Amino acid sequence: MLALEDSRVAVIGMGYVGLPLATEFGKRMPTVGFDIDARRIEELKSGIDTTREVSPQELTEAAHIRYTNHAGDLEGCNVYIVAVPTPVDRYKRPDLSLLESASRTVGKVLKGGDVVVFESTVYPGATEDVCVPILEAVSGLVLNEDFFAGYSPERINPGDRAHRLTSIRKVTSGSTPEAAEFVDALYGSIITAGTHKASSIRVAEAAKVIENIQRDVNIALVNELAIIFNRLGIDTLEVLEAAGTKWNFLPFRPGLVGGHCIGVDPYYLMHKVQETGYHPEVILAGRRVNDGMGVYVARQVIKTMNRAGLLFCNAKVLVMGLAFKENCPDLRNTRVIDIIDELRSYHVDVDVYDPRVDPAVAEAEYGVMPIREPGQGAYDAIVVAVAHDEFREMGVKRLRGFGKDTCVLYDVKHVFPAGEVDGRL
């Protein structure tokens, strides 16, 4: 079994998950950061991280790392960590194409004694049933005879400056007891919060998906409560704050559920479990509620405009925020787009403002080009869809300055007090 002190690490995928990982390993041991995106590699070589997850100083501190988009540069490594996206397709089915491609890339350079660890979110069994056969077929090697595998699910929370890679306990696993020990020690060398060694790769895979399914279902419950309380004329946040005075009440809040994890992971488990003939009920119900919240918010905005005597047809609305969550530029699976699309179905003219996102990415992914700066007195309604700090700092007075005298302000994320807005989720 490979010795920890002899490890030469390659991290495959320099996104929100892979870059922080590569940076931490690069502070301690020889590390290669690999990505197929040449532009991304050039940015990192220049000390720039457009995801804003790693600071220029942290990039500099990773003195033992080198970045590349050439697969041949991986040949000198003996530990390969795969951290590529695992989205769903338009039919909500797992899309493992990037994971399969990364496995083929690693398979071409895999040698006897090497270890391959996967961090990408998958359904239980995917590592051993999908990835390992690719590694074996491409390399000609055999698992647990010539090379070893492990799984350690990512727990990155984009935009969260408090919960960082090293301060979040890491789940680890391996294809043999010895491999599990090595993977656990490998991550233990960088994770100050400690590790939890699972008994098998499948247990670790399952743990990852249910972490986010639990959040998804809890948020769905609160979203449904928000719909109910809106119908009853009761402020949802006041109810949640009152209930929260009980020690065991969980502090979930209503909102849009997007991103690369919570809105995606349930479909991975559902895909696998449906092969057994079981049809999940609670998980699917939660997904339906959360997937419908963007449309619900848009219709609430229309109703708020109607109550104010505003005509919504050809009205001009400003949507504040496009990222899937506050204080990050991540646009993956953002459900703000559902608000925009539904408003446009009412023949509303929608502008989108988000100072954190890359306009070119927004246009390429969603056909939305964010404006550079909102105009003064231009809008019939303003929707605060994402709780960026920039929006909080603007305050209600400045936000209302973007609107006409009769403009309504709708607050999706409870950024401002109820008495200062005209409607909120």
**pTM given for the model:** 0.92
Half-sphere exposure of 231 (CA within 13 A, CB side): 7
Half-sphere exposure of 290 (CA within 13 A, CB side): 30
Q: What percent of the chain is predicted at pLDDT more than 70? A: 100
Per-residue pLDDT tens digits for 3-53: 999 999 999 999 999 999 999 999 999 999 999 999 999 999 999 999 989
DSSP string, 23-91: HHHHTTS-EEEE-S-HHHHHHHHTT--TTSSS-HHHHHH-TTEEEES-GGGGTT-SEEEE-----B-TT
pLDDT at 160: 79
Mean pLDDT confidence for 189-200: 97
Per-residue pLDDT tens digits for 338-364: 999 999 999 999 999 999 999 999 999
pLDDT category, 263, cuts 50, 70, 90? confident
Active site residues: 261
What is the residue-averaged pLDDT of the chain? 95
pLDDT at 158: 84
pLDDT at 259: 85
pLDDT category, 335, cuts 50, 70, 90? very high
Per-residue pLDDT tens digits for 229-248: 999 999 999 999 999 999 99
Q: What percent of the chain is predicted at pLDDT more than 90? A: 93
Mean pLDDT confidence for 127-135: 98
